[in-house]
Structure 1
């Protein structure tokens, strides 16, 4: 089963008030194995406030030459295909995306293919905080990631670990690599050297076991010591 872990950054909290998407980050999961990713910055044609910039660190100057949503929409839809969408507080992310897709008369993301990790986390930790930072600490994943600023791809990668841990899949040692898994070189072989004792060495070893540790497991290996 193919799943897409998704996160966005925006110019504000409500698209109905004119706010827009400024960054999209996605991580692909194939049968719970990390695959490729999708990442785009987007010019919102809207001036970001200083308060907003403090959240994600993305400036107006940085976004000036970035594509519009309409320029990346088809590429985004091609990446997610008909896969399940995994997001934290999914109504926020999917709401913004569907608003933009509807304006372009593009297919929207249906609710029946969306999984909200907030719901999963609340079932796992009832009555506790379940924001992404809290879950990182509870589940002890990606504890070394710099969280001074939010970032769509960064948060999607973190959410990937969180999602898998919430499902009970041990992700110790998992690295969200920029490369696809098929690019990894897994052809290395172990060079094992077989050690063969001479007849005299074997007899000397038996004699040592017999005289010094006759009740050991070593002695039981040879019928002479039973």
Structure 2
């Protein structure tokens, strides 16, 4: 099972080293690149005020957080949810730095020891779109992801948007089912060879609706690749 967790945090400020803390954690689960709705969303009392600039970004007040649990009280449950998954984070060094600090304060090993790996979508976007703005909002606009409801930053909302962005960024990279030399599928089951020449196969033409849907997928793939798709180049050359 390919399990991925798209993760985002909100914090009291920009520096975990200077004592800033996590106040919100949002996680969205993908299994085989499909949303499962098995999400995790928590708020934490950081025992300190948010910086004024941070408060303008997330709008989460100390009064709202006063009755929320401390991070260390939820740390084991969080790690159990994340355990063994591949994490997808935008600007991963920021969130991982805060999570590692919170885990350290809770007397627990760093995040990397609990998960299968970490993908930084900011690094991916910079490689795909060099020289362009690659904030989450910019990527939503570029890839056609609806972010109209994002008036303030929120960890769960941003994780949901990032899941859509990630799927668009990696469209077309799904693994193909291939047979090994022994004639077995990837699940280990025997696959019988069939000579299709023995059959008279009908040719079914695509309907106008199917052709339109196909063209829409091609447009999305082309947009995600920054206009570098091969078929567009051949089409223009012809």
Please give the TM-score of this superposition, normalised by the length of structure 1. 0.72
Contact 2:11–2:50 (8 Å) recurs in 1: no
User: 2:101 and 2:52 mapped to 1: Cα distance?
Assistant: 25
SS in 2 for 1:110: helix
Counterpart of 2:23 in structure 1 is 22
Counterpart of 1:118 in structure 2 is 122
Q: 1:70 to 1:143 in 2, by over 3 A?
A: closer
User: 2:61 and 2:172 mapped to 1: Cα distance?
Assistant: 37
Q: CA deviation at 1:107?
A: 3.0
Q: CA deviation at 1:105?
A: 2.1
Counterpart of 2:156 in structure 1 is 153
Q: CA deviation at 1:49?
A: 3.2
Count of residues in correspondence between the two structures: 169
Contact 2:147–2:161 (8 Å) recurs in 1: no
Q: Tell which structure's C-alpha radius of gyration is larger.
A: 1
RMSD value, Cα: 1.6
Counterpart of 1:181 in structure 2 is none
Counterpart of 2:90 in structure 1 is 88
Counterpart of 1:34 in structure 2 is 35
Is the aligned partner of 1:131 residue 2:132? no
Contact 2:72–2:105 (8 Å) recurs in 1: no
Please give the TM-score of this superposition, normalised by the length of structure 2. 0.68
Q: 1:28 to 1:103 in 2, by over 3 A?
A: same
User: 2:51 and 2:128 mapped to 1: Cα distance?
Assistant: 36
Contact 2:26–2:41 (8 Å) recurs in 1: yes
Gaps spanning 5+ residues in structure 2: where?
A: 174-238
Counterpart of 1:71 in structure 2 is 73
SS in 2 for 1:5: strand
Is the aligned partner of 1:7 residue 2:11? no
Counterpart of 1:179 in structure 2 is none
Counterpart of 1:196 in structure 2 is none
Answer 1 or 2: higher relative contact order, Cα 8 Å, separation at least 6.
1
User: 1:47 and 1:120 mapped to 2: Cα distance?
Assistant: 34
Q: CA deviation at 1:66?
A: 0.4
User: 2:96 and 2:134 mapped to 1: Cα distance?
Assistant: 19
SS in 2 for 1:94: helix
* Range with bigger deviation, 109-118 or 154-163: 109-118
1:17-65 CA-to-partner distances (Å, cap 9, x unmatched) read: 1100000000001010111100000000001233221100101100000
1:176-203 CA-to-partner distances (Å, cap 9, x unmatched) read: xxxxxxxxxxxxxxxxxxxxxxxxxxxx
Deviation >6 Å, runs of 4+: none
